[in-house]
């Protein structure tokens, strides 16, 4: 094959496209804006995911899904399907019309929380698995080859809750499986209230994970031609029934939570979001990782903040961005901001993809946090301007900032302990105390909120300005100093 000199140079000098942009869009989105396909394609979206089967309902019928796929594909976009298999304890759809049902059909059973209250969604009884298997087979018959089970595929009502269904039938099965006596019920409930990781709670969590994994594998087996993935809620893990090790070989949407300006606008909102994405990346490859870049309700996250969320995927090396907003589409006006931001992040990501952050601050989310923790991580250290790295084992060097349950789990605590309250002022003071130990790593000297990701194999530092105004940072590396300016919420790279 022959190339012109111009074509050869363009190929040689253009970084490979490693970042892909996807959109979750309901049929309602097209009804509201028939020109949406051309708008999102121009912005850089290549794949569209259409809502399908909703926890026992074909609100979007297979025929309607097939018709919607044709519209998107004529516009040059690839189409896939999102299923919502178990339902949500509240409204996760945000429909303007209010038409989609919010609870499963009457022949499904509600769950029971640890406090005895009944609730619909995020609980698993038959015939939910059987009907989801039938639904995925119908989707496969349409020619769909990629599908996600949305974040309602979990067995906890929300972050920080030790999930599972505490109904009489599930408690009786749990008791039989592990050979417990009748008194185990109160022992379990007491330990759950106290967030005590004893043998009974550990077995309960594993029992809950077994249920969800069996359900997933049945759906996966029902249509093996479909590449089936799961969406994981914010810090989703074992206590929500999600045994992350069971999903290493499937597409994984990393969990996020800051869906509106109020939550994402806080510095800790941003660092919590990054913390969760970094945690989930421990369990999937960059190529199989998807973001949960969500605005919910759809008009409650500004275009600037939604664009800023794209930096999280670059920092965590999440190669697929999934833009979401429930049933109601992202405001049309957002795309004028999102398009340029997507192109900028894609170009930057291509230069740093595959390079691993290193640093003296250690990102660790341990077993106790995953089984009984309250999902409130000590995440502000990510805004200290000191490089960090993600640990796959309990760290034995550097500084790890532990939260709640992990702080009393001695196997996950470094040799010496220091108490640093989770405030920026305390973290800046700590930075000044350890400054002499930072001679061999780049770090930001200023007392300003900024994420500093050091990629030594790429000879680069990424600085994410967490302020909503332009800032100039003094980057120190050994005896060298460099001033770096970043716009509001901007992610910039510095070559070393």
Tens of pLDDT, residues 345-365? 999 999 999 999 999 999 999
14 has pLDDT over 60: no
56 has pLDDT over 80: yes
Percentage of the chain exceeding pLDDT 90: 86
Percentage of the chain exceeding pLDDT 70: 94
**Each residue's pLDDT tens digit, 115-130:** 999 999 999 999 999 9
pLDDT band at 98 (very low <50, low <70, confident <90, very high): low
Mean pLDDT of 391-406: 91
Measured distance CA(492)–CA(460) in Å, rounded: 10
- As a whole number, the mean pLDDT across the chain is 93
11 has pLDDT over 50: no
Measured distance CA(151)–CA(233) in Å, rounded: 6
- Residues 483 and 474 sit within 8 Å (Cβ to Cβ): yes
192's tokens: 């759950």
| Range(s) within the chain of domains with CATH label 3.20.20.80 | 18-347
Place of tokens 């074909």: 58
Mean pLDDT of 63-76: 95
97 has pLDDT over 90: no
Mean pLDDT of 208-213: 98
6 has pLDDT over 70: no
Measured distance CA(232)–CA(442) in Å, rounded: 33
Mean pLDDT of 414-435: 89
Task: Say if residue 320 is exposed, middle or buried (CB neighbours under 10 Å; 0-12, 13-18, 19+).
Answer: buried
pTM of the model: 0.94
**Each residue's pLDDT tens digit, 158-205:** 999 999 999 999 999 999 999 999 999 999 999 999 999 999 999 999
Mean pLDDT of 234-260: 97
SS3 12: helix
Mean pLDDT of 14-25: 85
> DSSP readout, 226-246?
SEEEEE--TT--GGGT--GGG
CA angle 108, 82, 336 (to 5 degrees): 135
pLDDT band at 1 (very low <50, low <70, confident <90, very high): very low
pLDDT at 92: 67
Mean pLDDT of 259-281: 98
- String of b and e for 219-239 (b: at least 16 CB within 10 Å)? bbebbeebbbbbbbbbbbbbb
Measured distance CA(399)–CA(393) in Å, rounded: 14
Mean pLDDT of 311-329: 96
Higher pLDDT, 6 or 237: 237
- Spatial CA neighbour of 273 closest among 285, 255, 287: 255
414 has pLDDT over 80: no
Mean pLDDT of 87-107: 76
61 has pLDDT over 50: yes
CATH of 18-347, one of 3.20.20.80, 3.40.50.720, 1.10.420.10, 3.30.465.10: 3.20.20.80
Higher pLDDT, 8 or 16: 16
105 has pLDDT over 50: yes
CA dihedral 374, 375, 376, 378 (to 10 degrees): 120
Measured distance CA(57)–CA(95) in Å, rounded: 16
3 has pLDDT over 80: no
Measured distance CA(423)–CA(415) in Å, rounded: 23
pLDDT band at 82 (very low <50, low <70, confident <90, very high): very high
pLDDT at 88: 84
- String of b and e for 7-46 (b: at least 16 CB within 10 Å)? eeeeeeeeeeebbbbbbbbbbbbbeeeeebbebbbebbbe
Measured distance CA(176)–CA(458) in Å, rounded: 55
């Amino acid at each position: 094959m022959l190339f012109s000199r111009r074509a050869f140079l363009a190929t040689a000098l253009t970084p490979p496209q490693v970042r892909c942009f996807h959109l979750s869009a309901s049929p309602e989105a097209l009804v509201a804006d028939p020109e949406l396909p051309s708008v999102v394609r121009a912005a850089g979206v290549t794949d569209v995911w259409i809502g399908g089967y909703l926890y026992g309902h074909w609100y979007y019928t297979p025929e309607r899904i097939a018709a919607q796929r044709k519209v998107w594909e004529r516009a040059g976009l690839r189409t896939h399907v999102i299923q919502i298999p178990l339902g949500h304890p509240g409204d996760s759809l945000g429909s303007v019309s209010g038409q989609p049902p919010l609870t499963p059909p009457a022949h499904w059973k509600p769950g029971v929380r640890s406090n005895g209250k009944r609730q619909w969604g995020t609980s698993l009884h038959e015939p939910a698995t059987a009907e989801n298997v039938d639904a995925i087979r119908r989707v496969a018959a349409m020619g769909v080859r990629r599908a996600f089970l949305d974040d309602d595929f979990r067995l906890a009502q929300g972050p920080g809750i030790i999930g599972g269904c505490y109904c009489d039938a599930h408690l009786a099965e749990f008791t039989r499986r592990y050979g417990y006596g009748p008194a185990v019920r109160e022992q379990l409930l007491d330990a759950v209230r106290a967030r005590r990781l004893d043998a009974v709670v550990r077995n309960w969590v594993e029992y809950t994970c077994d249920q969800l994994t069996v359900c997933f594998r049945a759906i996966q087996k029902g249509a093996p031609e479909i590449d089936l993935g799961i969406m994981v809620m914010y810090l989703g893990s074992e206590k929500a029934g999600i045994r992350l090790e069971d999903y290493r070989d499937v597409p994984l949407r990393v969990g996020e939570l800051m869906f509106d300006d109020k939550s994402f606008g806080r510095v800790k909102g941003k660092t919590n979001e990054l913390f969760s994405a970094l945690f989930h990346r421990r369990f999937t490859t960059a190529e199989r990782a998807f973001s949960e870049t969500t605005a919910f309700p759809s008009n409650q996250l500004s275009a600037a903040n939604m664009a800023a969320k794209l930096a999280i995927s670059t920092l965590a090396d999440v190669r697929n961005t999934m833009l979401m907003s429930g049933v109601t589409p992202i405001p049309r006006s957002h795309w004028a901001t999102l398009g340029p931001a997507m192109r900028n992040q894609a170009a930057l990501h291509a230069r740093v993809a595959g390079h691993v952050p290193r640093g003296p601050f250690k990102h660790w989310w341990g077993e106790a946090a995953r089984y009984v923790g309250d999902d409130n991580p000590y995440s502000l250290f990510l805004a200290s301007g000191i490089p960090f790295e993600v640990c796959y084992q309990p760290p034995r060097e550097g500084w790890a900032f532990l939260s709640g349950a992990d702080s009393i789990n001695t196997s996950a605590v470094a040799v010496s302990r220091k108490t640093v309250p989770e405030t920026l002022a305390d973290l800046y003071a700590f930075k000044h105390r350890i400054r002499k130990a930072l001679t061999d790593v780049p770090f930001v000297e200023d007392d300003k909120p900024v994420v500093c990701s050091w990629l030594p194999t790429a000879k680069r530092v990424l600085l994410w300005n967490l302020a909503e105004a332009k800032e100039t940072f003094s980057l120190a590396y050994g005896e060298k100093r460099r001033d770096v300016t970043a716009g509001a919420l901007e992610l910039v790279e510095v070559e070393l």
